[in-house]
């Protein structure tokens, strides 16, 4: 197992940025850690790290080893964990990330029951509107909303993500409400700015299935959906929302759907995981639990 241990040490060095930090995390001395890294390079016959007085950088061979070796280490860890847990409860640390608003509204309320059901699982929950690289950040699982653009991930659909345009009653009383999508060019539109840039092109389908796209603009944009929700309720413009985000505002009348005769393209909400031959039982348990809790009709689409 020496080579596996050395590979794990090498990956820890890349993740933490220094040999000393990696050594501390594995309860090793710096001298022993350095010797083991040299042994790994000697056994493989290649240099894995460029060392300077202040920084370490992986070589091309080091990057290749990290990419393929991390998957091997994770598979081995998952297999070992599953073998140990055969016939017993899921356990260990589960690292989950999702968007801040969705996580606060729909994942956080589920955590107490999940931990009552699986008392041996420890949770680390990262609420972040930036899409983290699951492997580089050490995450086991992400719950993502919208199109999936990373083919290296394994995904399980949890729910549809229906979307609407909405504005406050005050805004619509002050302006002529849009009747067709092109009318939006005359309105203040509140724009989401994400990893894919400024989302200024809004797409629609009419009742006959004809598609159209409108480029919109406005004086307020944000990378955080709560800012756009607050602005829409305050009467600052029309915004593009997922129904999970504003269903209570629509029911309470704080927001009103705009252009209800036109559909916005649906996306979905997925649980995504790094590709692994063996998925840890704690990950499977969490995904199953969330899917069970959402059900066929997710809570934000239910009446009442």
Domains of the chain: 2-85 (1.10.10.10), 92-160+267-301 (3.40.190.10), 163-258 (3.40.190.290)
Q: Tokens at residue 212, please?
A: 């159209």
The token duo for 254 is 């704080």
Taking the C-alpha atoms of residue 166 and residue 233, their distance in angstroms, rounded to an integer, is 9
Give 165's strand partners: 240, 258
User: 3-class SS at 155?
Assistant: strand
Give pLDDT, residue 81. Answer: 64
Helix axes 243-252, 225-233, angle to 10 degrees: 20
Q: Which two tokens stand for residue 294?
A: 């959402």
Specify the pTM.
0.69
**pLDDT tens for each residue of the chain, 304 residues long:** 577 888 888 888 888 888 888 888 888 888 888 888 888 888 888 888 887 666 778 888 888 888 878 777 777 776 666 666 554 688 889 999 999 999 999 999 999 999 999 999 999 999 988 888 887 788 899 999 987 776 667 899 999 999 999 999 999 999 999 999 999 999 999 999 876 778 899 999 988 888 999 999 999 999 889 999 999 999 999 999 999 999 999 999 999 999 999 999 888 999 999 876 667 889 999 999 999 999 999 999 887 5
Say how far apart CA 23 and CA 33 lie, in whole Å: 6
How many Å apart are CA 218 and CA 138, to the nearest integer?
38
Q: Are 163 and 192 in contact (CB under 8 A)?
A: no
Instruction: Please report which residue ranges of the chain form alpha helices under DSSP H.
Output: 2-16, 19-25, 30-44, 60-85, 100-102, 111-117, 134-137, 169-174, 225-233, 243-252, 281-294
Query: What pLDDT is attached to residue 135?
Result: 76
CA 282, chain centre distance (Å): 18
Terminal alpha carbon distance of the chain: 58
Report the distance separating Cα 195 and Cα 114, nearest Å: 31
Closest CA to 63 of 150, 154, 135: 135
For the chain, helix, strand, coil in percent to 5 are 45, 25, 30
Q: Is 260 strand, coil or helix? A: coil
Angle at the Cα of 114 from the Cα atoms of 109 and 118, rounded to 5 degrees: 160
| φ/ψ of residue 127, rounded to 5 | -95, 115
CA distance 96 to 138: 10
Both structure tokens of 179: 């009747």
Angle at 105 between CA 100 and CA 111, to 5 degrees: 95
């Amino acid at each position: 197992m020496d080579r596996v241990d050395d590979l794990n040490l090498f990956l820890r060095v890349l993740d933490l940025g220094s040999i000393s930090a990696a050594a501390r995390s594995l309860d090793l001395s710096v001298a022993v850690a350095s010797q083991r890294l040299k042994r790994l390079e000697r056994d493989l016959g290649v240099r894995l790290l460029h060392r300077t007085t202040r920084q370490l950088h992986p070589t091309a061979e080091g990057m290749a080893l990290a990419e393929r070796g991390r998957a091997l280490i994770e598979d081995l860890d998952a297999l070992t964990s599953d073998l140990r847990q055969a016939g017993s409860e899921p356990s260990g640390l589960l690292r989950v990330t999702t968007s801040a608003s969705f996580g606060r509204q729909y994942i956080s309320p589920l955590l107490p029951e999940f931990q009552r059901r699986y008392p041996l699982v420890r949770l680390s929950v990262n609420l972040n509107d930036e899409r983290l690289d699951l492997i580089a950040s050490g995450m086991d699982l992400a719950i993502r909303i919208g199109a999936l653009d990373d083919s290296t991930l394994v995904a399980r659909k949890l729910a549809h993500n229906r979307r609407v345009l909405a504005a406050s009653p005050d805004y619509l009383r002050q302006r002529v409400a849009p009747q067709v999508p092109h009318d939006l060019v005359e309105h203040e539109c509140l724009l989401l700015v994400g990893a894919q840039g400024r989302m200024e092109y809004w797409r629609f389908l009419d009742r006959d299935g004809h598609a159209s796209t409108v480029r919109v603009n406005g004086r307020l944009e944000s990378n955080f959906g709560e800012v756009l929700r607050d602005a829409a309720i305050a009467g600052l413009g029309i915004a593009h929302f997922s129904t999970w985000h504003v269903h209570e505002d629509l029911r309470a009348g704080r927001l009103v759907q705009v252009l209800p005769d036109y559909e916005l393209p649906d996306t979905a909400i997925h649980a995504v995981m790094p590709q692994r031959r063996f998925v840890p039982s704690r990950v499977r348990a969490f995904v199953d639990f969330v899917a069970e809790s959402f059900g066929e009709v997710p809570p934000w689409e239910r009446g009442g």
